[in-house]
Structures are given as C-alpha cells and as structure tokens.
Structure 1
Amino acid sequence: MDLCVIVLLSLCGLLRGQETTDPISLDDCCKDGKDRGQESQDCTSMPLISESTTCRIAQEQCCATVLDDNICTSGINKAKDRGSCEGLLFSSTCETKTAKMCCACCLLGRAAQEQGLSCDLTLAVGYQCGVVSRACCVDRLPNVDGKLTPDLQPSQGDALNTEDQCRAAGCAQRCLNGTCACLVGYKLKADRKTCEDINECLLGSHHCQPGERCINTLGSYRCQREVSCGTGYELTDNNKCEDVNECRNYPGRLCAHKCENILGSYKCSCTTGFKLADDGRNCDDLNECDSNPCSQECANVYGSYQCYCRRGYQLSDMDGITCEDIDECALPTGGHICSYRCHNTPGSFHCTCPATGYTLAPNGRSCQDIDECLTGTHSCTESQSCFNIQGGYKCLNFDCPVNYRRSGDTRCERLPCNQSSECLALPVRITYYHLTFPTKIPIPTNIFRMGPSNSVLGDDIEVAIVDGNQGGYFAAKRLDHGGVLVVQKPITLPQDFEISLEMKLRRFGHLSVYLFKIRLFVTPDELSNAIIE
C-alpha cells in the first residue's frame, strides 16, 4: 500500500514537472512581441523567449500588429489633427501607403458624419478602408460595450450626460448618464473608467478574407494580403497586385537606350546599330560588317557602318550599298585617257591603237607609230627606198632625167653643157626631199627651208613653186639668204603631193638655178580624235 502511494506521488510530481517545464504563457509571448513592436524592431528576426513554435508565432503576430497599428494610427491621427494627408512619409513604400490609406479613409468617414450620412458607407471601397471610415465617423457616438449605436441622437446624449455626473465618474472616453462608455473598437477595463482597444484579430471578430492577414488598429482593424505581390508588382489601395511600370518610375536609369515595360518586369532594347550587352541593360556597338551588307568593302563605325568601293567603282546613289562600275571612257576627261580608242571594262578600262601602223606605248594609253623601215617589216624592193610615214610607209625610187647623173641617194647633178645656152638654162642640181605630216596642221606652217650653202654679200635669190601646187595649198616665200615653203591653206584630207620648188641665185652676175623635188605625204590624223567604246 505504501509502495503504491509512493509511485502515485512520484507520477504526480513528474506530471507537474512537465507542466512547469515551460512557464512562459502565450500572453507573455504576445506581450514581448508588442513591446518589440513599440520599439519598431524587425518582427521577423526577434530573439525568441521560448523554444515553443506557438510562442514564436504569438511573438511575431503581436509585434506585426503593433507596427501596423502604429502606422495606421499615425494616418488616422493626421486626418483628425490636420484634416489632410499631405506629408506622410515612412521608411518603406508599403508603410507610407498604409498610413495614407488610413488617413484618407478616416477623412472619408469624418465627411460622412459631418454631412449627416450613415457611417456604414455604401461606397465600393476596400474592407479595411470601410472599417477605418466607420470608426472615424462614429468617433463622437458613445457606447458602453464598444458597439455602434446609430439611433442615438445628439440631443438625447446631451440630456443624459450631466456635467456633475460625468465629472464625478472620471471617464476616459465617453460618459453616458454618469456611466463610462467607450468608442467603437474599445472596451471598458476592470476599473470601469478607462478603455482599452478591442483586438478583433485575436478575438476572431474580424471579417478578413482567406489569403488576407488581420492587423489590429486602435479602435478597429484592417486586412492585408498575406501573399507578397512579388518582384515587379505592388499592392494597391484596394488590396490588389498591380504591375509596376519601372520605365516610367525610373526614366533613363534602367536602360542605356530604350526601356519597355512588361508584366512584372521591364525589358531593355537598343537603337539601330547597337546590340544589347550581356548585362541586359547597356548597348554595345553592332559590327554590321560581319553580315556583309556591302557589295564590296565595309567599314564599321560607332552605331552604323559605311560602304565603299574598290578603284574603278563608285557607290550607288540609290541604296548606298551597291558598287557600280565607273565608265572611265565616258567621263568628261575620257577623250584624253586614250590617244586612239578607249574600251571600258568592269572596274577599269584599256586602250587600243589602229590595227596597222601603230603599237601601244608602255604607258598603256598612247599609240606609237611603228617605223616599218627601221624594223624591216616593209615590202620595198632593193631598188626602192623605204620612207616611214605616220601609220605606214612609202616605197620610193627616182631616176635622174637626161643630161643628169646621180650623185647621191637623193641628188642629181647636171652634166657639163659645153657652153650650150639651152643646157645652161637647166638647174645645176636637182635634189629630192620627202616630207610627211598629218591633216589639219596649223595655218600657216613653214614645212621646208632652202638657201645656198654659203652666203655672199650681194646675192640675189628668187624662190618659186613651178609645179605640183594645183590646189593652191602651198606658197613660196623669200627670206634673207634663202626661202621657205609654206602651207597656206588647210589640208583636211590625206593625200600626196610632189612640189617642184625652184631657187635662182644670181652672184657676181652669174645665174644658177636649183630645183627641189619635194614629195609630201599628208596622213590621216587618226590619233587626234579618240574613240570611246
């Protein structure tokens, strides 16, 4: 029997020990959270006073409630004291928004009370706004148990509250016929004089919807979303998540070039000629030349590119990209590029000369006459002499007339006359000359000069064309100590002439006659008019 008593006593002691293992109550946990909330501490990182999970929840909730209540109360007090919500500013956007909401909704309730409207607004405002508005509206309507009494008229209240009774009662908020009463959202304490806030959130008398958190305020409460809106969204006054337009809120600070708002975020883009950098915000120069936009050469420049062409091509005025061939032969100076014929080729040109009689000079542009007589490419016989002309050659030969003998390649001397007057009248010497020039030479031009090998004082000289000037193209002119053959009329067509030019020399009373046989070959001026192809 004694053993059983001992066992029972031991068991009771063990149970009592388990009950007192954690002597901290939920009220203590909540009180600690409220105190820390009053000190504006971070409710999510408070030092725990118990290892109990329930105690931690009570700490955090009571702390958050105090913080939210204080913020909302400051907004309500702003509305009551100044009748304006200007100048409300807290450390975070969310806190500022909460204070402004409570302030604005309180002003709404006070306006309803002043206009004699019902404190139960029919406006489509949020639940939290409605609670704050109702509390500020009924601020002057007393009630003992903290419930709204809408039928109480100001005149009746004045009749029930006598000055003597209420002065003796010492009520903290309201006095009704000598009995203390509290405003809506408050209840009388045990001393029946002072009032304390009714925490609707702890009592469960709130009307917050699922997904919303009840936050107690002085004389009321408000509901706030429990789920965060997430990055790129903000909570609106009607308790909804709304996209934040970062581009509008932070112009020129997010993107280097262009900012485009998208749901929950923003997107940067770049202007033409740039590409988005790896950081998604800045813009790097785009090397357009990598995609070969030009038909020939491309030069990248900052934010763009420039096409250019190789020698012999020019950039198209139409698109600025395509390279077009330059027709050098058609340029204003094209007629001077080649001395005879110009042939345009893609990106260049080349010159050619007449098919016979000429060859292209080393400069690739000029035409040089081929001296067939020098190169041996003529067809003259051994008895003929080769005479080169522009673009060809002539095979020449001559015979001395009767009474003359050949004294050189181009000269005939008169044989002795034996004092015969007829013979003495013949020229002492006949000399053959060969000249060539192109058509359209300037007029006048001296082409041949003649005179005695030595001059003597008193010489009398006469010069004259005696044959071959049927067209009147030439004239003989007397000069000091001799004479000249002059082209006096334009020769426009290629042709051959054989001019007989006579010079008479009278010296010491003796007359001597000299005959010059001049063969003239006027060639076509082929190289004066360049041909363009």
Structure 2
Amino acid sequence: MPKLSNDKNSVCSLAQKQCCIRSLNSIRCDSGVTSAKAGRSCEGDDGNSCMDDSYQVCCSCCALGLWMRRQGQGCDADLHLGPSCGHVFLTCCEEVEARSQLPLRGQENLKPTVLPRRGNGLCSQRCSTAGGRVLCSCFPGFFLMKDGHTCEGEAQYYVDECAMRKDRCGKDFLCENTPGSFKCIPKQKCLSGFTQDAHGNCVDINECSSLAQPCSSSFACVNTVGSFNCQQKVLVCNRGYHTSPDGASCADVDECQMGSHACGVGQICHNLPGSYRCDCQTGYQFDALRKVCTDVNECWSYPGRLCAQTCENTVGSYLCTCTAGFILASDQKNCEDINECDQKPCSQECVNMHGSYQCYCRQGYYLHEDGLTCEDIDECSQSIGKLCAFQCVNVVGSYLCACPPHGYVMSANGHTCTDVDECKVGSHNCSSEKTCFNLQGGFRCLSFDCPHNYKKVSSTYCERINCAPNSFDCQNSPLRITYYTLSFQSNILTPAQIFRMGPSPVYAGDHVIISITSGNEENYFSTRKLNSFTGAVYIQRKVREPKDFLIEVEMKLLRRGTVTSFLARLYVFFTPSSI
C-alpha cells in the first residue's frame, strides 16, 4: 500500500506551505498524477530543492486513490488526507477510465509505489529551508528515519498524541486519541457515589451490582442514593439444623455430640444430616419388642463355623477354646496339637500323638502304673542269666557286654547299647522325597504323600479337596488323613494299647466306630471302643521278631445324622528286644 500523510490539514503545512501550494497547482503535480496512473515511481528529480515535494505528494495521493479503487475499499479515505491530497485522491479514485486507455507501461505495472527515499540531503516527504539549510520532516502518521531524510509509516497508521504527550488539554480535561488527532474531554466532577453519564449528568452508582462483594455473606446489600446499606439476613432453618455462627447459612445439629438423641443403653448414636440414627454395638441385635439391644449368641447362630473345636459365648462376642491336648492358634479360631513330649512328662521315652502322648521305656525298664515312670528290670535277679543288654561275655571275675555290630554303640555304663540316630547324624540313605525315621538299631525311609484329591496341610496331615456334587466316591472318602509313627520292642507285653482316636471337639450325641481297614492281615492288632466318642488300637498278640507294619485305622463319626470318616495311617515298627 502507498505510504503518505493522513493529516487532516493540507500536505502544504508548516514552513513549506507557500512553496507547496504553488507546486500543487503547477505542472509538476499534474506530472505526478500522470506518473501514478502509468504505474511509474513517485520519486522526483534530483536536486536540493523543495519543488520535488509537489510531484511526490500528488503522485502518492493519486496512487493511493487508484489502489483503493482496485481493492474495492471506497473513496472515503479523503476525509483523513487533508484538502489538497484528498482532492487528488478523489480524482484518481473516482475516475472510471478503462485500463485499455492507460499507457502500455502502466498496464505492465499497476502497483502503487511507496514514497521515495532520497539521500544526499534530499527529503522523502516534506522539506523546508532555514539559514540556507534544507530541513526534512514527515507527514502526520510517518516518522523520520535515522538518516534524517527518509520517512516510514502506513497511510492507515495513526499517531496516539495522548500516549506521546503531545496533547494540549488542561488539568481539568482528559486527552482522548482520535484518528489523525485527539480531543479533550472534561474530567468528572460528581460527588462520591455518583458517576457522569454520556450527557455529563451525575447519576447514582448502584454499589450492590457494581462492587464484587459490598456486604458479608450474612448481610444483604440495599442500594441508596450515593451509597448503600448492609442489612442482616433472617434465616429460618429446618428441624435438625441451626443458624451458623456467622448467620449466613444453616448448619447441621450433631445430636450425638450434644446428647439430644434418644438412643437407648448399649446403642451407638450416628449423626446424619438433619437427624441421627441409633445402632446396636457389634455383637448385639435390636429387640423390636422390648426396644433394646440384646446379646447375640454367635455360637448358636453360626455353629461349627466360628471355632475349630469349642465355642463359648460372651457378652457382645465369643471365645474359641480347645480340648485337652490342644492349644488355640494365633488366629484365635483353630486349635493346634500340643507336643506334650517337649515338656518331658515321661521318665524315659515319649511319643506325641494327636491330642495326647504315650510314654515308653527303654530296654531293661517297664512302665509304671502311673503311665509316666519307667522302673528298672533287674535281669540278674529274674534268673534270666543276662547281665548285659545284648551279649554277655564271661571273663574271670567279671563280665563284658557287647552290642550288635550295626545301629548301636556301647553306653557309658558298659552294659547297655545306645541306638545310633542315623536320621540325626545323617548316615541314612533316604531320598529328598522321603522322611527318615529312626528306630532301635536302624532307620526307615517313610513317605507321607497325600493321595489324589487331597492337599497337604502339614508334613503329616492331608485334607480332602472339595468334591464335585455327583462324585459319591469322593464324598465317601475320608475327610482327613493323618500319618503317625510308633516304635516298640518285640518283647512288649500284650495286649497293649498303642493308639487312641476320637473327634475334637466332642458334642453331645457323637458316636464313633473304629476299625482297621488294611495292614492287619496277620491279625496282630485289634480295635476297641472305649466310650461313645473314643476308640483305641491294641496289640493283641506278641510280635516275636523285628517287623514293620503300615495299618490304616478308620474312624466313622456319626454327628447329627451325618457320617464323616477320618483315616489314620500308622507306621508301627517292632525292634529286637535283646538290646
């Protein structure tokens, strides 16, 4: 777009006015218009003279008019160009001359040119002389460059005289910038609380709508002439609510904290928005008839589900207890077998059993009637002729005792033979899948694997996996399989009780049936029912030589019309009695 003045005054203002008026009416102005229409440059002739200004101004104003016509912008821009430039602008903008009538050169280049940039003391826009010197200046809307000759700016760019502090307004007026100029507006002279309208009248300010928060939340704003008032709001809260401390809202009443609830003894109050709720404590239930909370007997409500053995109801809760031979586990629900042998109740040998234990005596001793103490057998006084445990070698004046070549060592007393615990010292040959069990004079490698459809709960305890609804074989199989190891000498007195079996815990009405299902083909063992809930396994005839047995003892428990079976697998070992 062509660069030229947008001053409302004539381009012939200031020091060069007389020179420029004479130039605009001269042939040079016509020559500038002709150059613009032909699309030629608007630069004037060389020389240090103000006469070039008329050619440049007329050429630029006409070029702007031609450009505005081609852009379809209309010819209203002359209102901002001043009389002389505006006249040239309108002449070229409103001309309807066909392009075919333009010279050939003008058809080739119809783009308007920019104002000339001249150096070597020549001005691109305005020039004036003072004391024989040429002074350059720019049209309004243009700025003089650092070279002192060239003017830069857009024809549509307006200078903000107010921002550049070029206004002439007094202290009682405000400067407002306008296109190409500025205007002075009288300052407001209204009292506080009023403002001036478009006609200069003072009108009241509505502070309630113009201010962000004129009053606090608990007060309402009321506008007055020149000011405003804050009036306190009146709140009516529903039942269960009260007015907040600031009076601005309704807050919930905590009946539980204030003690205004109607919950009975043993009930817990829970606050709700606008109300409250009464609940019974854990372990209690609400008696709708008596309107009180009563204790829940968890043992009756959930029989057999809370405790593994015995359930005892307490006020608001319950306790799990175990029968003799068991101790309550860390989960306070299940019962774990007590290894009574750790407390060394027997004077000699002790074998732990599920829920109990059994004392046994070493060679040369017998078990006292108390079932705990082993008393020595005086072999010599019984005329058995043996002073040694295994072999006696007579010598002059004394005797020597010897032990078997394998599995024993001579005791410190020189008479008895001590068994070598191959499992403890690591001299056994059991694989990693089997468990080593020490015997008198030897050891056995035992397998405690669980059958199909069972999972191993401990090293000697298997539990049946849940059965499919139509799998009767699975449902009739034992619920639990437990392994036990028992060792005896072949000279044990018969009949002798070696194992007891019964349910734990015991309930009134329980009945058990004990039977040996396998491993008793030679009829060494028998079963006997001690009472309705306990059975025992006996050795009914003497085993005269070392022998190993694996017998399966089944217990069928009849409880509340349901039969459940349990299986005990007994490894019974008989060792030589001569040691």
Same fold (TM over 0.5): no
Asked which structure has the greater CA Rg, the reply is 1
State TM-score, norm by structure 1: 0.35
TM-score of the two chains, using structure 2 as the length reference? 0.33
By percentage of residues, which structure has more helix? 1
Structure (1 or 2) with the greater strand fraction: 2
